[in-house]
Amino acid sequence: MSQTTRRKRSPTARVSKLLRDIKKLIEQRGCVSTREVMDAFGVSHTQAYYALKVLADENGYVKRVIGRSAVYCRDSSAQPVVHANDGRWVAHLSREIVLKALKKLVATARGHRYTVRLSAVVRELNLQPTANVNAAVKAFLEELLDGAVITLYRTRRNMRYIINVAEFRRRFGQ
């Protein structure tokens, strides 16, 4: 039995136009999610995912997974905005928004350690603690606190980050 190799199919004209349009959108915004592509171009989730996957493979766009969401960025320095959707409303989250809430919480710290709870950050952002929101905030927190966390506790209902206050203030200038 001989194996046949499948030729890579070239995209149709409609898909090629969608790819060009998405490429422009990524260059314009820096990062986009499948939801943004769906809303901007009126395509299905499968079509948006396929187009973003093709662009990531061919053009070197960076796929970043944040919680249960994936965003595609033009390069690794672009800062994504995550749209955490729980069916009723959408929360727009970015690294800067989470950092601002985190700085506000750490400003009250006295001493060299401070315990940050995931639920406290979500409350500081005035968001409902749904699974999507918690996952997105958690991903941004872990990115921000990389190197400043002394200990991470995972309890049944919450996550606690014990951080080095001096290291946090040195990094983020507080």
Read off the pTM: 0.61
Q: Which two tokens stand for residue 90?
A: 């959408």
Beta strand spans in 62-146 (E): 62-66, 69-73, 81-85, 90-94, 113-117
Whole-number pLDDT of residue 21:
92
pLDDT per residue, tens digit, the chain (174 aa), is 556 666 666 668 888 888 999 989 888 878 788 888 888 899 998 999 889 988 888 888 888 877 667 788 877 666 666 666 655 556 677 788 888 999 999 888 888 888 888 889 888 988 877 777 777 788 888 888 887 787 787 777 778 888 888 888 888 886
Whole-number pLDDT of residue 43:
92
> What separation in angstroms does the CA of 118 have from each of 7, 137, 173?
48, 8, 22
Four-way CATH pick for 84-172: 1.10.8, 1.10.10, 2.40.128, 1.10.3470: 1.10.10
Task: List, by residue range, all CATH 1.10.10.10 domains of the chain.
Answer: 13-78
Backbone phi and psi for residue 151, each to the nearest 5 degrees, phi listed first: -140, 145
Q: Which two tokens stand for residue 141?
A: 């927190």
* CATH class of the domain comprising 13-78: mainly alpha
What is the C-alpha to C-alpha distance for residues 142 and 136, in angstroms, rounded to an integer?
A: 10
